[in-house]
Amino acid sequence: MARRFSDSSGGDIIAKVNVTPIIDVCLVLVIILLVTAPLLTAADLPIDLPQARTREAEDERNVSITLGSDGSLAVDEERVSPEALPAVLRARLAEPGNADVLVVVRADSGAPYGRIKELLHQTRAVGAQRVAIATRQKTEVLP
C-alpha cells in the first residue's frame, strides 16, 4: 500500500516517482540509435548495388570500401584516392579489435569489373582475412 503524507495545506504529497515516461523516452532513443547506426558506416557516394538472389546478414561490425560509378573511392565514410587506399585500409585493419573484421566492397553496378577485381586483390594484399561484396536483395515474383 502506498503511503501518503499530508503537508500543512491539507494536500497529499505523493512520495513515489513515476518512471514510465523516462522509460518511454529511453526506448525511443534506443530505437532511433539502432535505425541510424548502420547509415553512419557507409560513405555518401551514390552507388547502385547489383542484385543477388542471396546475401549474408550485415549485422556485424565491418570496414566498408565504396566504389562509385565514376571511380571515386571511400573507406567507411572517408573519401580516399586510389593511391592512398592501401595505406588507409592497412591503418583501419591495424586498429584494435579489427584483426578479423569483415571488409565489405560496395561497388556500383556500373563500375568496371576489372576495377572491382583490383579492389579485392588490394584488400587481400593489405591483410584482410574476410572479404565480401555488397549486393541488394533481388526481388522475384513467384508464379
Residue carrying the nine cell digits 518512471: 19
Q: 5 phi and psi, to 5 degrees?
A: -110, 150
Report pLDDT for 29.
Answer: 94
pLDDT attached to residue 31:
93
Please give the single-letter amino acid code of residue 63. V
What is d(CA 63, CA 95) in angstroms, rounded to the nearest whole number?
11
Q: 43-137 — its CATH code?
A: 3.30.420.270
For 35, phi then psi, to 5°, come to -75, -40
Q: For the chain, which residues make up each domain, given as ranges?
A: 4-39, 43-137
Mean pLDDT, rounded, of the chain? 78
121-139 confidence digits (pLDDT tens):
988 888 888 888 887 766 6
Tens digit of pLDDT for each residue in 36-83? 877 776 666 677 766 665 555 555 678 888 888 888 888 888 888 888
Q: What are phi and psi of 74, to 5 degrees?
A: -150, 145
